Chain A
Amino acid sequence: MLPTLRLRRIWFRNIKHWPWVLVRTALLVAISYVIIFPLLSKLSTAFMTESDMWDATVRWIPRRFTLENIQLVIELMSYPRALFNTGLLTTVVSVLQVASCTLIGYGLARLSFRGSGLITALVAFVLVVPPQVTIIPQYLNFRFFNLYGLLPEPGINLIGSFWPFVLMSVTGMGIKNGIFILIMRQFFKGMSSSLEEAAYVDGADPLRTFLSIMLPNAIPALVTVFLFAFVWQWNDFLYTSLFMSGKTFLTTMLSRIGTGILTPSIVTLRNNTGMLLLIAPLLLVYVLMQRHFIESVERTGLVE
């Protein structure tokens, strides 16, 4: 194509582009507003004194701006310690979950064997049952852990350690792990098989093909699954409060900061402040991860 002709075409495209840019911006702003709005009200109350909350003239901007809530809640939650514990547990759990769910998903997608269809169905079924329903037997399972009687009575007490989390993560049984397995399965199933075939013809075994050919092309899916695992473990209260009872974690501390206080407005102040302190590190992780993720995708160009 002649350069001038090409330039004209690009120019023409840009002109056509403008109405879409306007519509897109309007939509993004509107949707962002809907999402941010509830959070904004929390953000502002965290910096209010109690009297501001009942002051009808105060809507968004606190009249008496204060950092007292933040300081108090940091102390009540033992924030540094809780942050460390939660960060450690969450990192361990999400790395393990990404690894196990990727393996399982790849096995179901690319290495079919008799019964792999049935296993896929079981994965979906596990996902249907929310943990709340099986939590009591699950707790007893770890309290008297005996592997169906293989270990001597009365079994080992795993409560209070990382083991219940580690064991469930390694086996793809953690929080909503079923959807991770299904995401990875569909992702790998959707990939082109030409490179895979070439690797097999060159004599690579399935493990090498997986590690050096298929895995690098799945980075966006890996990052996405990691983020979900991270957020869900970070915010988890059900498992953490039962398996780690008495220990200092962000969610368990957060659930307690209002106890014993009879004034509802103070409870709300504290809760909102605590919630912000819980969410803030997550947002930081997301911003860092997603930047890395886009760059890595654009750098490699992800050719098949």
Chain B
Amino acid sequence: MKRFRMNLERQKALYGIFFTMPFVVGFVLFFVNPFIKSMLISLSDIRFTQTGYELNYVGLKHYEFMLFVDTQYIRKIVDAFLQTLKDVPMVISFSLFSAIILNQKFRGRTLARVIFFLPVILSAGIVLRMERADFVTQVLMNSELVGAGGPAVFSDAAVRAFFEQLSLPSSFISFLMAAVDNVAVIIRASGIQILVFLAGLQSIPASLYEAADAEGATGWERFWVVTFPMLTPLILVNIIFTIIDSFTAGNSEMMNTIYDAVSLSSMGYSLSSAMAWFYFAFVAIVLAVVIKIVSKGVLYHQ
């Protein structure tokens, strides 16, 4: 038996290498190469030619510029970090809650699932790009719909007037307004996470719930004893995705700075690369720390 185990472990490891081989190949072919080139670009001045580009090595010039001359760069990193810190708990709890609702049986569930899927479509690729470029809609809708920082849903003036009628203190009204604006942003950022949780909920064995029922657990207890522990592996994935999404969202200030730097000057592409690499190193470190902490709480059903 012991011998069988040993052989099995070796066989599994062999298959493991075989299964993950595609990624290793892809990483070497399609990531390392552009990664190193982009790294070299950030250490050089770039000049585009007909067959590609030429590099002129300048050392850390671009890094020094963004860290010590550009007064905004560090501030933007800090802002992005604080924003992520705020986003992650809200997105995770909202999407978990929504997934649990969408997993229940009720009339119109298919319609509700279609609607909750829309943010996945609306936050990807060209749709997002065009939304930002769509100047006229913004002007037309501006008075009522589009607040600063994102498409707010409620008419600011009308909502404010409503709160003022209730004679609430104005600082409290501002807080409520921010919360309402935030709700729309959080909902739009949760599409992916909701679907991941939904898939997780569908895969929890019914036998576990039956066991909990047999013990006389209430709905609340069922959640904490069965649902939540079974979902912890996916909570980790969703936290990873939310952090990355929040840091690198196409419409975040930092990413815009990186993209805009390209058009700043002829050296823009080098500066942009430098900004990007420093930023991603920072994000990677944040991610590593978070994964380390969260992994301790993850339960694998084995």
Residues of A within 8 A of B (CB): 21, 24-25, 27-28, 31-39, 41-42, 45, 53, 100, 103-104, 106-108, 110-114, 116, 119, 121-130, 132-138, 140-141, 147-148, 167-168, 170-173, 179, 181-183, 186-187, 189-193, 200, 205-207, 217-218, 220-221, 223-224, 227-228, 231-232, 234-238, 251, 254-255, 264-265, 267-268, 271-272, 275, 278-279, 282-283, 286-287, 290-291, 294, 297, 301-304
Contacts and interface: CB of A to CB of B under 8 A. Distances in A.
B78 interface: no
B141 interface: yes
Chain A CB within 10 A, most for which of B17, B23, B116, B234: B23
B199 A224 contact: yes
Contacts of B200: 187, 190, 220-221
A122 B35 CA distance: 13
A144 to B, nearest CB: 8
B117 to A, nearest CB: 5
Nearest to B275: A133
A194 to B, nearest CB: 9
Nearest to B269: A136
26 contacts: A31-B98, A31-B115, A33-B153, A36-B118, A103-B19, A107-B19, A111-B19, A119-B23, A128-B244, A136-B53, A137-B38, A137-B41, A140-B52, A141-B30, A172-B26, A179-B237, A183-B234, A190-B230, A207-B15, A227-B117, A227-B120, A231-B120, A232-B124, A237-B125, A282-B121, A290-B117
Given A24-B106, A41-B141, A181-B23, A137 B34 contact: yes
Nearest to A196: B302
B135 interface: yes
A192 B301 contact: yes
A104 B23 contact: yes
B199 A134 contact: no
A291 B34 CA distance: 41
Given A107-B19, A133-B38, A228-B120, A200 B125 contact: no
B228 to A, nearest CB: 13
B70 interface: no
A56 B101 CA distance: 39
A187 B31 CA distance: 26
Contacts of B250: 130
B22 A172 contact: yes
A278 B122 CA distance: 11
B34 A134 contact: yes
B48 to A, nearest CB: 9
A297 B200 CA distance: 12
B161 interface: no
Contacts of B276: 129, 133
B236 to A, nearest CB: 6
Majority-rule SS of B interface residues: helix
Contact of B129 (A119, A187, A193, A237): A237
A172 B291 contact: no
A224 B195 contact: yes
B24 interface: yes
A191 B269 CA distance: 46
B187 interface: yes
A31 B145 CA distance: 16
A221 B198 CA distance: 9
Contacts of A27: 101
B44 interface: no
Contact of A168 (B26, B116, B141, B269): B26
Contacts of B137: 41-42, 45, 268, 272
B22 A130 contact: no
A37 B137 CA distance: 13
Contact of B38 (A34, A134, A189, A290): A134
Given A41-B137, A224-B196, A286-B114, A147 B29 contact: yes
Contacts of B12: 110-113, 206
B37 interface: yes
Contacts of B112: 28, 32
Given A182-B237, A223-B199, A206 B122 contact: no
Contact of B20 (A119, A140, A278): A119
Contact of B24 (A34, A119, A227): A119
Given A171-B26, A235-B125, A282-B121, 10 more contacts: A31-B187, A38-B145, A39-B118, A100-B22, A111-B15, A132-B259, A141-B34, A171-B22, A251-B126, A272-B134
Chain A CB within 10 A, most for which of B24, B26, B184: B26
Given A107-B19, A282-B121, A167 B30 contact: yes
A115 to B, nearest CB: 8
Interface stretch (B58-66, B85-93, B203-211): B203-211
B119 interface: yes
